[in-house]
Amino acid sequence: MLEMKPKPAAAPLPVKGKETRIRVLSLLVEDGQNTLTKVSGVIRRRGFHVRGISVGPSRQPGRSRITLQIDHGHAEADQVRKQLERLVEVVEVEDLTGDEVHSRELIVAKVAASELEALLQRGAKVLSTGPDGTTVEFSGDADEVGDFVNELARHGIVEVVRSGPVVMRRTE
């Protein structure tokens, strides 16, 4: 039998579900009309699946940072990095999977005004208060944000939005 064993891959970030198939990548890309189309096009064409994405400007003018959580599907795990690196618009790909990282997601939620104490104890910050409820923000890693959402559910969520992750390697 042909041995089809992938390169020893580092342990993936804890993400609910298909844990072993998630890669975490940080991309430095050139700003341009086509960049996001090209990146998402490659992901779709190669049978990968986006589980989390966030995009924002980088420190370098004319370039943006894309953070991706990608399910690599039936392909070898490292294919995600290799396929993205083929794109001319992609300047740099860093595979953070399994590394010691800071991974943060942001959540903004509106809840009933009287029910704030438990949320504030978790570290939520009040953004605004009105007659129909209070809007809070909270950030944390995927697990903390997940737990925060569960907590919110107990207080009756009026509205909630959650960002994709931003991830940086720890360098202490």
Partner 1 sequence: MILEALEREGVEYIFGYPGGANLPIYQHLPEHPNLKHILVRHEQGAAHMADGYARASGKPGVVFATSGPGALNLVTGLCTAYMDSVPMIAITGQVVSTQVGRDAFQESDVIGATSSVTKHSYLVTRIDQLPRVIHEAFHIATTGRPGPVLIDICKDVQQADAERITPQYLDLPGYKLNGHVNLDQARQAAQALAGAERPVILAGHGVLLSHAERELMQLSEAAAAPVGTTLLGIGAFPVKHPLSLHMTGFMGTGWCLKAVQNADVLMMVGMRVDDRVTAKLSEFAPNVKTFIHVDIDESEMGKNVRPHIELVADARLALEAMLPHVGKVQADRGNWLAQIDEWREEHPLRYRHSNGQLQPQDVLIDMYRRAKSEAIVVADVGQNQIWAALWWNYDRPGLFINSGGSGTMGFALPAAIGAKFGRPDLPVWCVAGEGGFVMTAQELSVAVEHQLDVKIVLLNNFSLGMVRQFQDDFYGGVRSQVDLTHMPDFVKLCEAYGLPALRVEKFEDIAPSFDAAERTKGPFLIDFRIDPEANVYPIVPLGKGLNEFREAPEYA
Interface with partner 1 in residues 42-71 (CB under 8 A): 45
Site membership for partner 1, residue 78 (CB under 8 A):
yes
Site membership for partner 1, residue 120 (CB under 8 A):
no
The correct pick among 9, 55, 75, 101 for binding partner 1 (CB under 8 A) is 75
Site membership for partner 1, residue 8 (CB under 8 A):
no
d(CA 165, CA 81): 18
Site membership for partner 1, residue 10 (CB under 8 A):
no
Q: Which of 110, 149, 106 is nearest to 132 (CA)?
A: 110
Site membership for partner 1, residue 160 (CB under 8 A):
no
Residue 136, CB half-sphere, CA atoms under 13 Å: how many? Answer: 28
Identify which range of 1-9, 13-21, 99-107, 137-145 contacts partner 1 by CB under 8 A. Answer: 1-9
Q: Which of 60, 71, 53, 84 is nearest to 166 (CA)?
A: 53
Interface with partner 1 in residues 89-118 (CB under 8 A): 89-92
Q: Is the dihedral of CA 88, 91, 97, 103 positive or negative?
A: negative
d(CA 111, CA 155): 7
Minimum distance from CB of 103 to partner 1 (Å)?
25
d(CA 99, CA 48): 21
Determine the distance from the C-alpha atom of residue 139 to the mean position of all C-alpha atoms in its chain, rounded to a whole number: 12
d(CA 36, CA 91): 13
Q: Which is nearer to partner 1, 83 or 103 (CB)?
A: 83
Minimum distance from CB of 23 to partner 1 (Å)?
14
Identify which range of 65-73, 88-96, 124-132, 148-156 contacts partner 1 by CB under 8 A. Answer: 88-96
> In the complex, which residues of this chain contact partner 1 (CB under 8 A)?
1-7, 29-30, 33-34, 37-38, 41, 45, 75-76, 78-79, 82-83, 85-92
